[in-house]
Structure 1
Amino acid sequence: MNFKSRANHSQIINDDYIRAFLSGCRFPKKPGPDAVSGGEILQAIEKVDLGLKHLLTVDGSYTVVDVEKDFPSSQIAFFQFGAILFTTDDLVSISDLPFISPDDMKALQNLQRIKLALPVKNVVSNKSSSLNESIRKSIYDFFMREPSKESSLMETLSWLIFARYLNEPDDSYELGTNPNLGAAEGKVVLKRCEMRADYTFPNEFGDIYLTDVFRLHEVIDEEFGAVGILGYLSRLVEQLILFHYVRIIYQSRPSVLGDFVFISNGPLSFSGQTANMHKVARRCANHLLDKRDLNLVGIEKNGPFVEHALSICKNESGAFYLSRNSFLILSNHYIYSYITPGDSNRMHYGATSYYGGKVIVHTEDGQVFVITIPVSHADVIKKPKVVEFRNLDLIINVIRLLKCDMYKDSIVPVAMASKLISLTNHPSVSILGNFAKDLSRKQ
C-alpha cells in the first residue's frame, strides 16, 4: 500500500460522519444460549428407510465476453445448464471419497447440457430492432428449443402459468406490463384461448411471448445493457428445468414421482423481476404434494444463511449451539434477529420471492447444510411447524448420504453439476470470447 492510499484511508477512518454511520449500523449477530424461543423448531434427525431414490439436480453457470476488441462495450453472455440424474445406490459406494472425478461415476453419462447465448450490451441479434427485443426473442427461442423440441421448457412454462395440471386450468394470466411499451406501462391479460401453437399472443402493439411473463423486459436498458438480469435468468432457468422433469414424470408415470428427489442449487426462490414466478411454483408444488408426492429441496452453498449455520454448529461457550444429528427450522423472527438485520414485526422474509422455508441441518458426521423445503404459504415461517415441511426427514436423510469435499459442505450431484458446466474459469472465458469474435468477423 503506497503513501497516498494510506492517507486516503486515514481520511475515511477519521471522518466523523463515517464513524457515526458505522456506529449506527446493525450487523448479523451470534445467537445467545436461549435463542430458540421465537417459534423456530429444533429437533433431532430421524432415520428413514429410503429404499431406492433417484436424484435429479440442476445447476447453471454463465459468463460475459466482449465481442470486439475495438468495441469492448459490445457483450454477449453464454449460459450452460447441467442436469444430472443419480440414484442413492450410485452414491453409497463413493460418499466418502474426498474427490470425485467423472471416471468415479458411471451415472455421469446421464449429464445433459443445455446452452443459451444472450446479447447483453450494444448488440442486436437476428432481425430484432433493439436490445430489448433481441433478449426477449433469444429467451423465447431457448424455451421453444430446449431440452428438446418434442418436450420443451415452453410447454412446461405453459403448464405452470395456466395450472394445466388441474382438471380445470386457468383461463388467463395477468402480465403487469406490456413488453412492447415502456417499462411500467400497460397491463396485459394473456388469455389461454388466444395463445397460438407457438406460445405467442396477439396484441395491438406487437406479439407477446409467453416468456414475457418473466418481466425481464422491464429492467433492460438500451444504453447500459442487461447485465443485471443474468443472475435472475440463471436461477429462473435452473428451477424451471427441475419443474420440466417434474412435469414429464407426473404426466407419464405419476405413481413414481415420490421415488425422485429434485435438488436445486440455491434456495427455492425467484429473484428480481422474475419473483412473481414463486406464486406459480408454490401453487404447483402444493398440488403435487397433495395429489401425489414431491421431494423438492434447494441447497445453499454460500451467503449469510450458510455463514450463520456454520457459526452455530461450532460449540462456543455462551452461544447457541446446534448439536449434531439435529435440524433447526428458521422462523421469521429468528432470521431478522440473527441472520439478516431487520424488524420481524414489520418485515416478512421471502414473502414475495420464496416458495419454501429454510432449515439448517447439522448431520451426525458434522456436515452443515442450509436447505429450503416447499411450504404451502408464506405465513408458515412466522410460526413454523414440522408438519408444514413435508417429507423433511426423507430429504435430510438423502442429503446426508451425499457428502462431498469437492466444495465444502456441498453434495455430490450439485458439486458435479457445478464442475461440469462451469463457464466461469479463465480458459472458458477466453475460448468463448475468441469464438464470438471469430463469428462476428465473418458477418
Structure 2
Amino acid sequence: MGYSSKNNRRPFEAASKAAHHHIINDPEVQTLMDRIYKPPRSEEIPLEKVTADFEPPERNKIEAIIAVDGGYTEAIIENKFPSRKIHFLQFGALFFKQEELVCLEESPFIAPEDMSKLKNIHRIKLALPTKNIRFQDENTLKGSVLKAIYEFFLKSTLEEDKSLIDTLAWFIFRQYKKNHRTQDEKTWNLATNPLSPNGNS
C-alpha cells in the first residue's frame, strides 16, 4: 500500500511492486500469459485491412426505413435508506420511405413541410418501478415490473388499430407466414428457472 507522511511534509510514496515478482514468475500465471491474445492497438492496424471500397447497387432494394432511438432517466422518490427509485423510459420510432429521401436530395430547396415528415416521431413512454417499491395490487417488485411491461405492450398502439402485443405475437408466432406455419411455430415455450419448485420464478 502507499504511504504519506504526517502533515504532508514528505511527498507521497507509492506502494512497492517488489513483492509482485513471485506472481509474475508463478507457473500458473506464465501458463495464462501464454494463452492470452492481446488485440492490436488501433495505431498498429493498417487502414486497408478495416476499410473497403463501396460500390452502390444500380437499383436500391430498400423501400422504407425505420429509425428507433430513446433513453431512460432514473428518478429518486426517497433518498433515505432504503432508497426508492423508478425509471422513466422514452423512445420513438420514425418511419419514412426511401423515395422521400431521394426527392429531398434532388430538390434544389427543401421546404419546412418536407422536413417535418422526417421529424414526425411516434413517442412511446414507459414508467417502471425499479427499487424498493411495488404496485398496490402486486406482492413483489418482479411482479410489478412484469405487469408494467405487459400493460405497456397491451396499451401502446402507435396510432394503429392493433397494439404492440399483437405485433409481438406476429413476430413470435410468425403469423406473417399465414397458412404456411409449422406446428412448432404456432407455440412458444416460456423460459423457466430449473431451481424453482414450480419452475416459473
TM-score of the two chains, using structure 1 as the length reference: 0.32
Which AA in structure 2 matches 1:60? G
Deviation digits for residues 82-106 of structure 1, max 9, x if unmatched?
A: 1123431365279xxxxxxx99932
SS in 2 for 1:157: helix
Which AA in structure 2 matches 1:171? K
Is contact 2:174–2:186 with CA below 8 Å preserved after alignment?
Answer: no
Is contact 1:77–1:117 with CA below 8 Å preserved after alignment?
Answer: yes
Are 1:186 and 2:199 matched, yes or no? yes
Deviation digits for residues 357-395 of structure 1, max 9, x if unmatched?
A: xxxxxxxxxxxxxxxxxxxxxxxxxxxxxxxxxxxxxxx
Question: Do the aligned partners of residues 49 and 128 (structure 1) sit closer, same or farther apart at CA in structure 2, a change above 3 Å counting?
Answer: same
CA RMSD of aligned residues (A): 4.3
Question: Do the aligned partners of residues 52 and 89 (structure 1) sit closer, same or farther apart at CA in structure 2, a change above 3 Å counting?
Answer: farther
Question: Do the aligned partners of residues 88 and 183 (structure 1) sit closer, same or farther apart at CA in structure 2, a change above 3 Å counting?
Answer: farther
Cα distance in 1 for residues equivalent to 2:142 and 2:166: 23
Choose from 104, 123, 131 the match for 1:113: 123
Superposed displacement of residue 11, structure 1: 5.0
Corresponding residue for residue 138 of structure 2: 128
Choose from 98, 105, 125 the match for 1:92: 105
Are 1:83 and 2:93 matched, yes or no? yes
Cα distance in 2 for residues equivalent to 1:49 and 1:34: 27
Structure 1 unmatched runs, 5+: 37-41, 95-101, 188-217, 219-443
Corresponding residue for residue 65 of structure 1: 75
Cα distance in 2 for residues equivalent to 1:172 and 1:7: 66
Choose from 12, 19, 26 the match for 2:37: 26
Are 1:157 and 2:168 matched, yes or no? yes
Structure 2 unmatched runs, 5+: 5-11
Cα distance in 1 for residues equivalent to 2:90 and 2:103: 25
After the TM superposition, which residues 187-266 of structure 1 pair with which residues of structure 2 at under 5 Å, given as runs?
Answer: none
Richer in helix (by share): 1
Cα distance in 2 for residues equivalent to 1:19 and 1:62: 47
Superposed displacement of residue 59, structure 1: 1.4
Corresponding residue for residue 422 of structure 1: none
Question: Do the aligned partners of residues 129 and 52 (structure 1) sit closer, same or farther apart at CA in structure 2, a change above 3 Å counting?
Answer: closer
Cα distance in 2 for residues equivalent to 1:51 and 1:168: 25
State the number of aligned residues. 172
Cα distance in 1 for residues equivalent to 2:58 and 2:18: 55
Superposed displacement of residue 111, structure 1: 0.9
Higher relative contact order (CA 8 A, sep 6+): 1
Question: Do the aligned partners of residues 145 and 18 (structure 1) sit closer, same or farther apart at CA in structure 2, a change above 3 Å counting?
Answer: farther
Are 1:48 and 2:63 matched, yes or no? no
TM-score of the two chains, using structure 2 as the length reference: 0.64
Is contact 1:177–1:185 with CA below 8 Å preserved after alignment?
Answer: no
Question: Do the aligned partners of residues 7 and 35 (structure 1) sit closer, same or farther apart at CA in structure 2, a change above 3 Å counting?
Answer: same
Corresponding residue for residue 190 of structure 2: 175
Deviation digits for residues 183-238 of structure 1, max 9, x if unmatched?
A: 69627xxxxxxxxxxxxxxxxxxxxxxxxxxxxxx6xxxxxxxxxxxxxxxxxxxx
Deviation digits for residues 291-312 of structure 1, max 9, x if unmatched?
A: xxxxxxxxxxxxxxxxxxxxxx
Question: Do the aligned partners of residues 54 and 164 (structure 1) sit closer, same or farther apart at CA in structure 2, a change above 3 Å counting?
Answer: closer
After the TM superposition, which residues 407-422 of structure 1 pair with which residues of structure 2 at under 5 Å, given as runs?
Answer: none
Cα distance in 1 for residues equivalent to 2:65 and 2:20: 55
Which AA in structure 2 matches 1:160? F
Is contact 1:177–1:184 with CA below 8 Å preserved after alignment?
Answer: no
Are 1:144 and 2:157 matched, yes or no? no
Percent sequence identity is: 32
SS in 2 for 1:127: coil
Is contact 1:114–1:147 with CA below 8 Å preserved after alignment?
Answer: no
Cα distance in 2 for residues equivalent to 1:52 and 1:19: 58
Cα distance in 1 for residues equivalent to 2:65 and 2:25: 51
Cα distance in 1 for residues equivalent to 2:175 and 2:134: 35
Cα distance in 1 for residues equivalent to 2:92 and 2:171: 22
